[in-house]
Amino acid sequence: MSILVTPQTRLLVQGITGAFGARHAQLSIDYGTQVVAGVTPGKGGQIFEHRGVKVPIFDTVAEAVRETKATASAVFVPPPFAADAILEGIDAHLDLVVAITEGIPVIDMIKVKRAMQGSTTRLIGPNCPGIVTPGEGKDSHGGCRIGIAPGYIHKRGHIGVVSRSGTLTYEAVFQLTSRGVGQSTCVGIGGDPVNGTSHLDVIQMFMADPDTHGIIMIGEIGGSAEEEAAEWIKAHGTKPVAGFIAGATAPPGRRMGHAGAIVSGGKGTAQAKFDAFRAAGIGVSATPSEMADTLLKMM
């Protein structure tokens, strides 16, 4: 099993005719993902073709879903228009929208969050690397890749990875794979202050997934999402969890890379998050290079 995406997931790519969207649509097709539609307003009726796979392009998400039965979307749309692209997916009742776009205005995302109240659509991101459920073997048969993560570093197995940082997601995955240890699903939730899916959301799904036997949780300074996840793990966790927090040396009050990685009012510090991890029985990795080993020692 896995969480959120499976080989049956039917993906549409919003912004498939742009250079970035096109490149990652190709990589997802190569990985074995069912890419069934593209959406670019004004280019409906065209065909996106890669290695014999012909993907029809539509003007709207609603039309694409109606014609292709797409169940998930990857958003590769410029920041000024990305919130509307997400809302299109919500209005079309997609199961999942993965927003890769970085730099979406916070006020736009607040509007999106309001629109999602009562919706059945789950949003991952924005400003995230996406999600990968690894397949079997070198050709990743049976896998699903949505976003920008390098599929070739993944290996099918039983460790769940959830992270605010894209590059640290890849680091954790590569460490595991290098040790011969595979992953069930890897989720990059993004580093923006207003996002769709939290650490806690993903942790709860991993805990309920019988195919996930251990979890690596990677956080950053800023906000309280990691502490909330740790509190839930302390009360309800049934599987080993190892954690790392990036930004321990960041000066207070200064934004560090991700829009959500800012410490203010004494809250959101790396030390507070490490303390919460230890109190919950989460194995703390002192450096990024020890994430996989910390979990494997616990297991």
Classify residue 18 as exposed, middle or buried by CB count within 10 Å of its CB (0-12, 13-18, 19+).
middle
Separation of alpha carbons 250 and 191, rounded Å: 15
Residue 24 falls in the annotated catalytic set:
no
How far apart CA 142 and CA 32 sit, in angstroms, is 7
Question: What is the spatial distance between Cα 98 and Cα 124, in angstroms, rounded to a whole number?
Answer: 5
As given in the structure block, the two tokens for residue 21 are 């969207």
Q: Which helix (H) or strand (E) holds 199?
A: helix 199-208
Half-sphere exposure of 248 (CA within 13 A, CB side): 12
Active-site hit among 24, 154, 199, 258: 258
Helix (H, G, I), strand (E, B) or coil at 152: helix
Please say whether the beta carbons of 119 and 90 come within 8 A: yes
Contact 216, 160 (CB under 8 A): yes
State the Cα–Cα distance between residues 133 and 234, nearest whole angstrom.
27
Query: Catalytic site residues?
Result: 258
